[in-house]
Structure 1
């Protein structure tokens, strides 16, 4: 069924009908409807059972709901109309007319109703607390992809379909846990960072936890991202064969003959989300790299809060004050609430006395109702800050020169370290092969490798290359280029104090940006050596 005249931008009729299943949880009788749905979904035995209105009423009475059978039957009919329940086709056996009238309609749970109520219960049990990112799933995802990568076409053809489906299902379950926990963490983070009612102690505790946790999170992403990207590229050509073999086992078919849905990951289309998260696409960076950028944005927002606190809390949130005032209203009686309202907002009952204005320049008297009079000119200080007194001289400006100098020195030191790391990489001319470099140079090399792979936009095939240009550094005045080549059977091994990084079937080379500048540099070095020999 479809909408005969759909409006541009509007939801189709079928989707609007599906959303009707959420109505019971937001209406005036939501408590009763939720209690009824819990009777059908609370225990596993209720999923395959049907109940009459009298049976539902008896269960509700035990919970303290005083409803008659006709009212319960109306509630059940409402849930049937919106797709949460369905009338059972089972015939009832009655020994009297009264029993038949009570049990003439029996109700059972629908698939849509069970899914909607599961979401409702999850929302009711949700709390606005921090949730850690499941970074431990990165190692499991890498191990699962590694196991699938070791299966060639012959191994896939003889693999156990159920075992293969179990491996793929586990892999995607871990990926879903990682993605959902990352979204929850950043959602919670955004709610805290925009608050202006954090005092110094709260800010100090939050800053320490945030900086430490975010740094570890970003390090975990950076450590696993290159390996996961490479393994995904290797597994991608065999994804259709893997899914076909996993789906070759015994399958459940619906009453209409269609094959039932299976675990996520057993359809080749499901792998696009995994690929987009760790590899990206043409002109699009990976979601994992976006997560690292969000960490930088969080640090920037943290500095905004720090600047607000350091400047004397000029921007303040009244969130805490409003909560306190609301609690007073909640516990006050009627007379006290009116007095509290007048004291808090200055809004008293209307008492207007009309008389002529004393000032001819202002024809509107001070006692005229604001409902029918033009807007008054209110000074900026009074309108924004509520200050009625004339302000004195401006206060002394804060001196941030020391803080600025410290930040500039810190930035220059970071640039020098980066330039030294790039110069160290540039000294390894040609294919790196097996090289030993510092931790800083290893980090810069992985960043350049990631930029080269993202700029290529597609997996490297045999003989294909991806490169990224680097500006002039010490030892390479004309700049240099990092090139990543697909070379089956040959790889690159980088050793640093932090560990050993091995790139299988990939050759990383350092080449000058222009061979003319490189040749001039070599000739200059040769002439200098001859001068030294002549001097000697």
Structure 2
């Protein structure tokens, strides 16, 4: 396969692309009027501008293969005129093809499309004609071929227009600057248009699906073979077919083409497992577009009501920054606008945990923060590659077990020191070690918190259910003193009875 030459498209990205497009457009319009050749003066008369620039542009287009230059000898009257470069220019096949491609591209981008409910009716009509033909034992090949061609052409037009319409609809939904009143009027017409098409698609689409099913049940392959055979009747012999019948070769190709077209047509109206039909998807997309259009109207209403969008907020913020009198005010405005506090690292070293730095300490006065080079380079303390070996934590587990046992022993000793066999004054508790005193404060706090106003006696149990305290207030006005290594605890004297429930449970289980 020869290499494709794309030089005829080079003028689209050249510095003077607009001039080249106008020149090529003048040649295309001239050909529509059956004018083959144009002189530089003719082009200048059509597009205007500077004639020397047009001559240079024509030469460049000739170099790219868009135009062909032929010597212009019709107006030669002297030897000097003969030696002067004069050319007639005309479109080449490559240049004409490039212009057609560009025109198709522009048309596809600017095409709005339409949801053609009339096309659905035409497709149903063609399918009814095919259903009549498929019932015949010997259908007319011309009628079969024309019916299938009409069906394909109408369906292709429907699919292309639907695709273009949904694309233009999405561009409408995504608009940012629009007049509210104009869009409201357009929105009402568009929603009515969508609703009418959805109704027609539901009604006519169901009929089309039923007709397709009936035709396939009787035998659509026979009709497709008839159409392919009619197309292959006038096939010309080709090179390299090794004596094969060209009509048979073309028949096989045409048969495969018609099968593919029918499968695509069927998939447009009939759903398969895990594959909804294109008509169903189009109907869903049209339904989704209606609330999206209403959302666009709501957004436009918010803009007209004065609600600022993000871009307006940032413009106001920029104006405030410009009007800030001092740099300190700019920093304060920054923190207020974005809610950004001073940075804090998630990982703290041991010395930082022991000696924390206050949050209001300026960075210039704070001690330097040492960061691991690996963390700074990779963002992780762990190195990439082979994972580390499993660390033996036996010593740590043993330490934790011993620490837990020590705490349990201290708690049990504190309970034994606080347990009273009968109601006892607080003064008679004597001296308490730090562990017992902490436990006593918890018990006393629970009892005082549970006592209601005017209540003399209160009974409460700790949250873990291990101890009960009965506290009774006295009216003799005496003060209680409890001695601890840290000092003396003083307060109104009470009668207190502390019971260790774990000991009672143990005794009951032993009994």
TM-score (norm 2): 0.48
Larger radius of gyration: 2
